[in-house]
Chain A
């Protein structure tokens, strides 16, 4: 990890895209403005963080803005990790996808399936993604299961006291 001062320097370099820097348990995090995710990632890539480990989503319910998207970056030559986090509202869940190659900004091919998973589970819509459809749930499923207000579901457990109430199985 870059240490706390290194993190602050990176934060200052990237300017107003970075809303906050967090150094917690020796792990460095930049909290950024969602509109500039591509530019921040490109700048970090230029600094050496060229491997994207993971793209995942979080639901911060009941804090607003609710939906979070986290990019984990790794610099293999210096063995350094940094996380980039951003927050979105559920009524405006659009985010620029980091997958496609744009002129002057090479995309991150590894984010393909991972962004689809974030879309499937949380409902974040990645604009510019080559193939944004559900990946884990059936294609016509309604709802985004890993949001915290989505019920866990499941079958009622049949105990001996409740056996007569339930339909049971043959």
Chain B
């Protein structure tokens, strides 16, 4: 790619400065139709909406996304590839996720790795319920995302009993693929801190009640 270079001329620089002055104060370019007019708190609000400043939400989302505590939840073959991302080649510690917590009370990311049988599904649900908000779930592998290789009586796709944020396909997904899925979740949490499952299912401010209770 050719890079064009032009000498700076004093006139052009001054025009650009005036333009930015206009834009920043609520006017349009060169102040023709709408001159710069904002003052005081209006001006602050205007700037805040346009220039990236750190609000508390964004800072918290940044911190949360960079320090997931995954729960150790290896079920089957995908668990071995999940162990591979902890190992040296695809090092999940680079991103800050190496603190796998055994207790669901201390974890905030459930990586469902492996096939979920009908005997295991209520237990997975119980573990997910024991996790504290905010929590996310990654369905790793084809067996829990859809039924995978085994479309039969013994398995349950994970979408049927718990909300999943990211599905990672593969049988088993390569460690790099799982890493891609986790990073996608990280980006999701960072950019859209409000896009949890409650927002997606329009269930904000609700809690789940067991049927028949």
Contacts and interface: CB of A to CB of B under 8 A. Distances in A.
A170 B200 contact: yes
Interface stretch (A26-34, A88-96, A105-113, A153-161): A153-161
B151 A157 contact: yes
B57 to A, nearest CB: 25
A145 B118 contact: no
Interface stretch (B11-19, B28-36, B95-103, B153-161): B153-161
Contact of B147 (A137, A151, A154, A170): A154
Given A138-B118, A138-B119, A170-B159, A154 B201 contact: no
A143 to B, nearest CB: 9
Nearest to A134: B119
Nearest to B120: A138
Given A137-B119, A138-B119, A170-B201, A151 B153 contact: yes
A169 interface: yes
Contacts of B41: none
Q: Kindly state the interface size class of chain B when it binds its partner.
A: 10 to 19
The SS class assigned to the A binding surface is: loop
B146 interface: yes
B139 to A, nearest CB: 11
Interface string A138-151: 10000001000011
Contacts of B147: 154-155
Nearest to B119: A138
Interface in A93-148: 137-138, 145
Contacts of B151: 152, 154-155, 157
A151 B200 CA distance: 36
